[in-house]
Structure 1
Amino acid sequence: MKIETQPREDHQVQVIAEFEPETMQDYKRRAAKKIAKNTKIPGFRPGKAPFDVVKRYFGEEAIEKEAIELLIDDVYPNVLKEANITPSGPGSLEDILSTEPPKFSFIVPLQPEVILPDYHTIRKEYKPEKVTKKEVDQAIENLRMSYATAEPVDRPVQEGDLVYLKLKGRLVKPDEGEDPDFIHESPLQVIAGKSANEEEEWPFEGFSKEVIGLSANEEKTIVYTYPKKSPLESLRGKKAEFTFSIQNVKAMKLPELDEEFLQSLGDFESAEKLRETVQESLEAQRANEYDQKYFNELIDAIVDQSTTRYPPNVLADEVEHILEHLKEDLAQQKMDLETYLKARNLEKDVFIENEVKPAAIKRLKRSLVMDELARAENIQISREELQNAVAQTIAQMSNEIDLSAVKTNLARKNFTTAVTYETAGRLLNQHIKDRLKAIATGEFQAEKEQETSGSTEEVEAAAPKTRKASAKSKKAAAETKEEPHPKPEKKSKKTGSETTEV
Structure 2
Amino acid sequence: MKVLSQEKIPESRVCFEIEIEGEKSQAAYDRNLKSLSKSVRVPGFRPGKAPQKMVLRHVGAENLKATILQELLEKALTDVLKDKEEELQVIGSFDLLSSADELLDQLEYGEPLVFKAAIDVQPAPELDKYSGFELKVEKIEPDLSQVDETLHQYQLRQSTLVPVEDRGAELGDVITIDFTVADEDGNELPEMGAEDMPMEMDESDFIPELIQKLVGIKLDETREITVTVPEGYLDDEYEGKPATFTITLKDLKARELPELDDDFAQAISDRETMAELREFLEQRIIDEAEETTKANLEGAILEQLVENLTIELPHSLVSREVDYMLQQQAMYMQRNAQGDDQMLKKVFGQKEFVAEMRRLNEPEAINRLQRTMALAEVARLEKITVPEEELKTKIDELRQNLGGQQVDDQTLREVIEDEMVTEHVLEWLKENSQIEYVPEGSLEPDPAALDADLDSESEEEAQPVEVEVVEAEAE
CA contact (8 A) 1:23 1:102 kept: no
**Equivalent runs, 1:102-113 vs 2, <5 Å:** 102-113=113-124
Residues 25-55 of structure 1: CA deviation (Å, up to 9, x unaligned): 223233335545665676567xx99977865
Aligned position for 2:467: none
Residue 91 of structure 1 aligns with an amino acid whose one-letter code is F
For residues 232 and 5 of structure 1, the distance between their equivalents in structure 2, rounded to whole angstroms, comes to 64
Measured in 2, the distance between the counterparts of 1:216 and 1:226 equals 27
Choose from 169, 185, 201 the match for 2:194.
185
Identical positions, percent = 18
Aligned to 1:447: none
Amino acid at match of 1:189: M
Map residues 68-87 of structure 1 onto 2, 5 A cutoff.
Answer: 68-80=69-81, 81=83, 85-87=88-90
Structure 1 residue runs without a partner (length 5+): 174-178, 194-200, 407-411, 444-500
Give me the whole-angstrom Cα distance separating, in 1, the residues matched to 2:154 and 2:182.
Answer: 36
Give 1:226's aligned residue.
230
Tell me which of 123, 127, 152 is aligned to 2:134: 123
1:160 and 2:172 aligned: yes
Residues matched between the structures, number:
412
Rg bigger for which structure? 1
How many Å separate the matches in 1 of 2:357 and 2:184? 34
How far apart, in 2, do the equivalents of 1:372 and 1:169 lie? 58
Which whole-Å CA distance do the structure 1 matches of 2:52 and 2:280 have between them?
84
Matched, 1:253 2:219: no
Q: Distance in 1 between matches of 2:122 and 2:393?
A: 33
CA contact (8 A) 1:116 1:307 kept: yes
Q: How does 1:167-178 map to 2 (within 5 A)?
A: 172=184
Between the aligned partners of 1:438 and 1:426, the Cα distance in structure 2 is 19
User: Counterparts of 1:11-410 in structure 2 under 5 Å?
Assistant: 11-35=12-36, 39=40, 55=56, 58=59, 60-80=61-81, 81=83, 85-95=88-98, 97=103, 98-99=106-107, 100-154=111-165, 155-166=167-178, 172=184, 183-185=192-194, 187-192=197-202, 201-204=204-207, 208-218=211-221, 219-226=223-230, 234=236, 238-239=240-241, 241=243, 243=245, 244-266=247-269, 268-292=271-295, 295-296=298-299, 298-332=301-335, 333=337, 334=340, 335-336=342-343, 340=347, 348-349=351-352, 351=353, 355-378=357-380, 379-381=384-386, 385=390, 388-389=393-394, 392=397
| C-alpha RMSD of the superposition | 4.4
Q: Can you list the C-alpha shifts for 1:86-129, whole angstroms capped at 9, x where unaligned?
A: 43211122335433212122132333443345242433344533
Greater relative contact order: 1 or 2 (C-alpha under 8 angstroms, separation 6 or more)? 2
Instruction: Select between 417-426 and 309-318 the one with higher mean Cα deviation.
Output: 417-426
The unaligned stretches of length 5 or more in structure 2 are: 437-444, 447-475
8 Å CA contact 2:95–2:119 kept in 1: the answer is yes
Distance across 2 between alignment mates of 1:220 and 1:433: 61
Go from structure 1 to structure 2 and tell me whether the alpha carbon gap of 1:314 and 1:129 turns closer, same or farther (over 3 Å shift).
closer
Go from structure 1 to structure 2 and tell me whether the alpha carbon gap of 1:302 and 1:2 turns closer, same or farther (over 3 Å shift): closer
Q: Secondary structure at the match of 1:362?
A: helix
User: Aligned partners of 1:2, 1:286: CA distance in 2, in Å?
Assistant: 59
The residue correspondences of 1:478-493 to structure 2 (distance < 5 A) are none
2:451 corresponds to which residue?
Answer: none
Structure 2 vs 1, CA of residues 424 and 357 (structure 1 numbering), >3 Å: closer, same or farther? Answer: farther
CA displacement at 1:63 relative to structure 2: 4.0
Secondary structure of the structure 2 residue equivalent to 1:373:
helix
Change (3 A) 1:330 1:72: same
